[in-house]
Amino acid sequence: MKRIAHILAVGFTITNLSCVYAQSPHPARVVTQNVFEKEIAKTTPIVGILDFNRISAVSSEESGLIIKHYFEEGDSVEKGEPLVEFDTDFIRKDIEITRKEIDQIEIQIEEAEKNVSRLEQLFKSSATSEKSFDEEYFAHKKLLKRKEQLGKELERLNLKLEKSTVRAPFSGIILAKYKELGEWVSNVSPVCEIASKDDVIARVGVSEDLIKYIDIGDMIMVSVNPLGKEFQGSIDSFVPVADLKSKTFWLKIRIPYFEKAIQNMSITALIPSSAKMKITMIRRDALVAFNGQNFIYSVNENAAVIIPVNIVVYDGLYVGVESPLIAVGVPVVIDGNNRLQPGQLVEVIEEKQ
């Protein structure tokens, strides 16, 4: 009895809609595709936030005075690009002094080598003492060690010079700038916060009752509400801690980076809410909205028939729907429906598979 009442109500709605439009005298050219079934889970929309799964507070390995800034909040940076540069006048002066010391040591080494060679010949001919030869020999060794030590010191100063420019550890977006031009920065103070562009996620609070329907790697439709964008994301992970009061846990859905991505921007994710079942599927292009209700057009005896549907799942280019008036094999208009009117004559120019 309830089913009959429902069909009568649907018929009443369609009749009313037919009265809204004027009958077109010319057949509308349309493309159709038959309804099919797919084994898929129903989904429920859950509001969450946009986030970044990898965020770094970038610090310097050296202390210094900031003399150059290469970024502002919101800038996009690539891995290895400079972020800030410190004053390096004292480091460069130490490098200059160390190089001169090495030059001086090299002259002393050259002189010591000649003395050792000369004394070695004299010692062999018993023209000098072993003590004199040993003193010159070990003096030469000390000079070589000193040169090696100065070389290591020069390497340290060059490394310090290199580390005086703080670079982006990965490609990302600057979320916050902590230090300004002219500020002194210690090696424990972050200069900025950067979020990885390769690790954009939708973070959704999901009821623990739904976890049995969720598997890592499942594809999920995610809508970025303020921008009207849609993405096919994959379930990356979930935080294994449920809230004691709400009994919800955080689910992370990986989505591609897009322009104007903002941390904590609102999103809506379609989360599986049932076991997989056979559901009637149609192209999303077939949907027509009217007064907050979704409809589709079918074709019966070369005339357009409007049918209300209830969407239960989104699956890429397709949607799963519930309606007592459609079944597998029924042709549905997927192109040309935006200009159709209920009862209008149609000409099917193509039937998509």
Give the model confidence (pLDDT) of 279-310 as tens digits.
Answer: 999 999 999 988 889 999 999 988 999 999 99
pLDDT digits (tens, 9 = 90+) for 152-207: 999 999 999 999 999 999 999 999 999 999 999 888 889 999 999 999 999 999 99
The answer regarding whether domain 2-41+276-352 maps to CATH 2.60.40.10 reads no
Place of tokens 């490098």: 95
Secondary structure of the chain as H, E, C letters: CHHHHHHHHHHHHHHHHHHHCCCCCCCEEEEEEECEEEEECCEEEEEEEEEECCEEEEECCCCEEEEEECCCCCCEECCCCEEEEECCHHHHHHHHHHHHHHHHHHHHHHHHHHHHHHHHHHHHCCCCCHHHHHHHHHHHHHHHHHHHHHHHHHHHHHHHHHHCEEECCCCEEEEEECCCCCCEECCCCEEEEEEECCCEEEEEEEEHHHHHHCCCCCEEEEEEHHHCEEEEEEEEEECCCCCCCCCEEEEEEECCCCCCCCCCCEEEEEEECCCCEEEEEEEHHHCEEECCEEEEEEEECCEEEEEEEEEEEEECCEEEEECCCCCCCCEEEEECHHHCCCCCEEEEEEEEC
Average of per-residue pLDDT values in the chain: 87
**Distance from CA of residue 308 to its chain's centroid?**
38
Is a pLDDT exceeding 70 seen at residue 50? yes
Is a pLDDT exceeding 60 seen at residue 24? no
Amino acid making up residue 90: F
Tell me the backbone φ, ψ of residue 258, rounded to 5 degrees.
-145, 155
Entry pTM: 0.70
Tell me the backbone φ, ψ of residue 122, rounded to 5 degrees.
-65, -40
Mean pLDDT score, 326-345: 90
Place of tokens 């379930």: 235
Q: Determine the topology of domain 44-53+199-272 in CATH.
A: Elongation Factor Tu (Ef-tu); domain 3 (2.40.30)
Q: What confidence score (pLDDT) does residue 62 get?
A: 87
